[in-house]
Structure 1
Amino acid sequence: MSEPVLKLSGIAKAYNRGTPGEIEVLRGAELEVGPGEVVALVAPSGAGKSTLLHIAGLLDTADAGLVEINGHDMSGRSDRRRTLVRRDDVGFIYQFHHLLPEFSALENIVLPQLANGVSRKVAEARALDLLDQVGIAARASHRPAALSGGEQQRVAFCRALANEPRLLLADEPTGNLDPATSDQVFAALMALVRNTGLSAVIATHNLELAARMDRQVRLDQGRLVPLEPTIP
């Protein structure tokens, strides 16, 4: 059996810990994501899915439990080591695109590659290839303000995959779009994920989108439980 790309064991997290206002968000969450597997994380707003994704992607630390990425336990690792793993092995997508407004679509995808030591020529070629895969290569020279919301989010997808991560974490990646655009953009994201063969955890409250992924889990009272997809 292949080693999981992501393994979460006994993840616990509380805010305002040790005070009367303590809020327990995660209570022993467990998750394994295999190579090339796309998992839907279903939960309403405020249930803790963003917290779980931040812990999985090493942006936050758990109060208890283990995070393993590519078989390596990240517990107690230095900030530098966590930063390197986050840079090299993990891609993030958020509900809002967070593109740099002064740079073109192409440049937004090139910049993280340059920071990772890739030559500009190679970085631009990869950026154009990714833009082509999501159907907006013709918009490469446009700045974010000149792009539609769906186009901006497609650029954000490409940026997240620029450094060829093995794991993609997406937090409501189409939640800021209208239903028709959301469906088109989600299809582009899934095609990009399948083409690159990476593993992904995609948070959504949309059960129709969740049903299009390999497996669905629900965050329920701080724990992850399997969810049987409902297909209309």
Structure 2
Amino acid sequence: MSDPVLRLSGIEKGYNRGQPNEVVVLRGAELTVARGETVAMVAPSGAGKSTLLHIAGLLDTADTGEVAIAGENLGGISDRRRTILRRQEVGFVYQFHHLLPEFTALENVVLPQLANGVPRKDAEARAEMLLDSVGVGPRGAHRPAALSGGEQQRVAFCRAMANSPKLLLADEPTGNLDPATSDTVFDALMRLVQETGLSALIATHNLELAARMDRQVRLEDGRLVPL
């Protein structure tokens, strides 16, 4: 069996360690995400799902435990190596789109590729393909302020996919949208994930959306348990 795309082993994380106001967020969290698998992580606000996603995506470090992406154990690696892995292997989608307002939709998808050394012509071709695949290709020349909330988030999906990552991490990716738009946007995300065959760990409090993924887990008392 091939290595999972993501493996979290014994992840613990707390804040203000040793202080009277110490807060322990993760207590030995364990998870594997197989190649091509979509996993929903269900948790209420404040349960630590963002912290876990940040650790999984190399934006934060655990107090104890191990993170492996595509079979590479990331314990003790250099900051430079973490940055390269984050850029090449991981795509992020947040509740708010965080698009760069001074750039067009197309440019927002091109820029991560340029940072990764892709020639501009190739980056633009891939950006156009991705935008077309989620139905916002005709809006590529517009800046984020001229796009609807659903369009902005679909552009954010494309930006996360720009460098062909192995792993997509999403934190309430439709939580800022009305129910009808949320459904449409989530459909676009799942199509994009399935067509590219990447693995995804998606945090959501929406059980209907969670049920459309391959597997569901709940973050409960700092641990991940099957839903």
| SS of residue in 2 equivalent to 1:183 | helix
- Alignment RMSD, CA only? 0.4
For 1:167 and 1:212, locate their aligned partners in 2 and report how far apart those are by CA, in whole Å: 18
State the partner residue of 2:125: 125
Alignment of structure 1 residues 45-84 onto 2, 5 Å = 45-84=45-84
Superposed CA deviations along residues 83-105 of structure 1, whole A, max 9, x for unmatched, are 11001100000000000011100
Aligned partner of 2:20 in structure 1 is 20
Structure 1 position 81, deviation (Å): 0.7
| Cα drift, residue 2 of structure 1 | 2.3
* Residue identity in the other structure for 1:55: I
What CA deviation, in whole Å up to 9, does each residue of 1:29-60 have, x standing for no partner? 00000000000000000000000000000000
Give 1:157's aligned residue: 157
For residue 37 of structure 2, what is the amino acid of its counterpart?
Answer: E
- Percent of pairs with identical residues: 78
Aligned equivalents of 2:149, 2:122: Cα separation in 1: 27
User: Which residue of structure 2 aligns with residue 92 of structure 1?
Assistant: 92
Q: Which residue of 2 aligns with 1:230?
A: none
Give the equivalent residue in structure 2 for 1:188.
Answer: 188
In the TM superposition, residue 18 of structure 1 has moved relative to its aligned partner by 1.0
Structure 1: runs of 5+ lacking an equivalent: 228-232
| 3-state DSSP of counterpart to 2:173 | coil
* Aligned position for 2:104: 104
Secondary structure, counterpart of 1:30 in structure 2: strand
Secondary structure of the residue aligned to 1:26 is strand
How far apart, CA to CA, are the structure 2 residues paired with 1:158 and 1:100? 14
Shift of 1:210: 0.1
Could you tell me how far apart the structure 1 residues matched to 2:75 and 2:42 are?
Answer: 26
Provide the rounded CA distance (Å) in 2 between the counterparts of 1:72 and 1:213. Answer: 25
Shift of 1:17: 0.8
Give unpaired runs (5+ residues) of structure 2. none
- The Cα offsets for residues 136-176 of structure 1, whole Å up to 9 and x where unpaired, read as 10001000000000000000000000000000000000000
Shift of 1:12: 0.2
Q: CA deviation at 1:76?
A: 1.0
- State the partner residue of 2:177: 177
Task: For residue 4 of structure 1, give the secondary structure of its aligned residue in structure 2.
Answer: coil
Separation of aligned partners in 2, 1:116 and 1:24? 36
TM-score norm. by structure 1 comes to: 0.97
The whole-number CA distance in structure 2 between the counterparts of 1:145 and 1:38 is 31
Query: The residue matched to 1:208 in structure 2 has which SS?
Result: helix
SS at match of 1:168: strand
Structure 2 length as normaliser, TM-score?
0.99
Q: Corresponding residue for 2:2? A: 2
